[in-house]
Structures are given as C-alpha cells and as structure tokens.
Amino acid sequence: MADLRELLDRLGFTEARSLLQSGNLVFRSRARASAQRERLLEAEAETSLALQTDFFGTRATGRNWNTVLKLGTAAEGPP
C-alpha cells in the first residue's frame, strides 16, 4: 500500500491513506471528473507498479464520511 500511496502523491493527490487495511484508499484531489480520475489511476498503477486493478471513485462529504468509516469499522470486526 505504501507504493500506491506514493504513486498518488506523485500524481498530485493529497492526504492519501489506506482505509482500515481494506485495500481501499482515501485521498483529496483537485476537481476532476470521477471517471477521469479512475482512468488516470488505473493507467498509472499498471505502468508504475505493474498492477492491473479497477479504481472506483466516489466523492465523500463530511455528512456521508462518518457512514463510510462506520461501515468500514464494522466490516473489519473488533480489534
């Protein structure tokens, strides 16, 4: 995951972090269409990391972010 976070940083995304060791990343980005972001990340992951994967983007706001965190925590189970 560190390699993927470094890739996001190099591409100009900020505050990239893995979410609850789930393989999901959260980050901040400048205004880009979600589909454009996904294509960029897929191409760069394959070129830079030899990683073929799909990226799915969503825009989390303060209101729905708490739900995302709660669902992730529940999926991980107790520590």
- pTM of this prediction? 0.67
DSSP code, position 61: -
Q: What is the pLDDT of residue 75?
A: 46
DSSP code, position 31: S
pLDDT of residue 1 exceeding 70:
yes
SS3 at position 56: coil
Instruction: Please count the structural domains in the chain.
Output: 1
- Give tens-digit pLDDT for 37-74: 889 999 999 999 999 988 887 776 666 667 766 765 54
Mean pLDDT, all residues of the chain: 78
Distance CA 36, CA 44 (A): 12
* Domain that residue 31 falls in: 2-76
Share of the chain above pLDDT 70, in %: 70
